[in-house]
Structure 1
Amino acid sequence: MDFHGKRIAVTGAAGSLGSAVVRAALDAGATVAAIDHAPVGASADDPHLHAFGGVNLSSPETAEKVVATIGDRLGGLDALVNVAGTFRWEKLEGGSLATWDLLFNVNLRTAVAASTAALPLLVKSNAGRIVNIGAAGAVKAGAGMGAYAASKAGVFKLTEALAEELKDRGITVNAILPTTIDTPANRKDMPDADFSRWVKPEQIADVILFLLSDKAQAVTGALIPVAGRT
């Protein structure tokens, strides 16, 4: 897929999945704005990478400011990939409402704020794209997964509602539903698991790039499992 001339913003760009999406988009020829709450390293060797670290996307004002800066620097925006997210395993009994607030803010609120801020730019693109990151574990929540699954289920409904809202304006909105992703953190947390069965960040990035491409114009409102062999 050829993304030369495409301008793509990726949130959560410092994480394992976000950095894989950034790398895949750059390799395909895109100009990429990499956004994260954590510091994001910019390479002087890659003029197509623009780093925006220290960004709190749960703040609508901050989201609007950074997206406006991206639009000015890149001359517009063609796609937004909402990767920013986090995970907590916690049962309701003995748990805390603060965990629910955290997962809502990081997993859902950031996607809402970033998408809202990006819409004025995306509607000016010939083929605007939004891809969100849901979770297969939100289809049926297990014990200890209530807060996480609820926040990701919100991502499902955001995706479906926004796809309907934008379907006559040339913008597609889809979500990826991964299972366990093969990251260093997950390997550390589950050392006895069969890592070969997990889906790799680069494999998810490939699916995301397809959804950002011109070939995916007919796909919108989809919740797509990317589950490896789990």
Structure 2
Amino acid sequence: MQGKVIVVTGALGALGKVVAEVAQSRGARVAGIDHAPSQMPATAERIEIGGIDLSDATQAKTAVEAAERHFGRLDTLVNIAGGFAFETVGDGDIKTWQRMYALNVLTALNASRAALPHLAASKAGRIVNVGAMGALQAGSGLGPYAASKAGVHRLTEALASEWKGKVTVNAVLPSTIDTKANRADMPKADFSKWVTPQELAEVILFLTSDAASGVTGALIPVSGRV
């Protein structure tokens, strides 16, 4: 990771914070992009670009280019920004489907399109997306979320094919991630079975490394002990 420049979207969320911190601890320089306001001043090792709606292509391009200007290059994009909604198809609202598509597919699409020319100029360009185990077979109440994450899976495969030999594009597919928010939403669940942000971060960062140069188009389950 030493010296690599990594853009992390959703960098102020539970998983994004861990990925950014671990990457920086291993020598990477990190640009965090988030919808929430920036929380720290820019340094030579880290910049936070807050107040960005990545579902808007113009805002995504502006944020990615700001990161490239700050560091002089980009090596990796980790698309973590996204959202979740539990809603049945029959009783739900079409707006939930639109919101899940915007939060999960458009954020990854727009950030990737903005970053790809810069990543292709790197000797080790990488994109890592966050899909979902739940998108492999949707259960009751998971229709809008699973459909949008399935879109992330297909986006990953399409980009991997289109940019083969220039940029590797892979996705991790977590089960339930062990976060405070998920524990609050599912207080009776067995948290010990869930995948931790640290475990997921290790797989994500492996895919950004030189050791993963031969891996592209992969959808890698990271399901913890479920």
Q: TM-score, normalised by structure 1?
A: 0.96
Q: Do the aligned partners of residues 22 and 96 (structure 1) sit closer, same or farther apart at CA in structure 2, a change above 3 Å counting?
A: same
For 2:9, the aligned partner's letter is: T
1:133 to 121, 130, 134: 130
C-alpha distance in structure 2 between counterparts of 1:26 and 1:42, whole Å:
15
Structure 2 counterparts to residues 82-93 of structure 1, below 5 A: 82-93=79-90
The residue number in structure 2 matching 1:142 is 139
The residue number in structure 2 matching 1:24 is 22
Matched, 1:217 2:213: yes
CA RMSD, 1 decimal:
1.0
Describe the superposition over 1:147-166 as per-residue Cα deviations: whole angstroms up to 9, x where unpaired. Answer: 00000000000000100001
C-alpha distance in structure 2 between counterparts of 1:164 and 1:125, whole Å:
18
The residue number in structure 1 matching 2:75 is 78
1:195 to 191, 198, 222: 191
SS of 2:220's equivalent?
strand
Uncovered stretches (5+) of structure 1, i.e. residues with no partner: none
Structure 2 counterparts to residues 152-167 of structure 1, below 5 A: 152-167=149-164
Matched, 1:13 2:11: yes
The question of whether the paired residues in 2 share the 8 Å contact of 1:14 and 1:39 is answered with no
For 2:2, the aligned partner's letter is: H
SS of 2:22's equivalent?
helix
Tell me by how many angstroms 1:43 deviates.
6.0
Q: TM-score, normalised by structure 2?
A: 0.98
The residue number in structure 2 matching 1:96 is 93
For 2:122, the aligned partner's letter is: S
After superposing on structure 2, the runs of 4+ consecutive aligned residues of structure 1 that deviate more than 4 Å are none
Matched, 1:53 2:58: no
SS of 1:177's equivalent?
strand
Query: How high is the sequence identity, in percent, across the aligned residues?
Result: 55
C-alpha distance in structure 2 between counterparts of 1:91 and 1:55, whole Å:
30
Describe the superposition over 1:156-205 as per-residue Cα deviations: whole angstroms up to 9, x where unpaired. Answer: 00000100001122x10000000000000000011111111111001100
The question of whether the paired residues in 2 share the 8 Å contact of 1:131 and 1:174 is answered with yes
C-alpha distance in structure 2 between counterparts of 1:95 and 1:157, whole Å:
24
SS of 1:34's equivalent?
strand
Uncovered stretches (5+) of structure 2, i.e. residues with no partner: none
Describe the superposition over 1:186-230 as per-residue Cα deviations: whole angstroms up to 9, x where unpaired. Answer: 000111111111110011000011000000000000000001101
For 1:142, the aligned partner's letter is: G
Describe the superposition over 1:99-143 as per-residue Cα deviations: whole angstroms up to 9, x where unpaired. Answer: 000000000000000000001100110010000000000000001
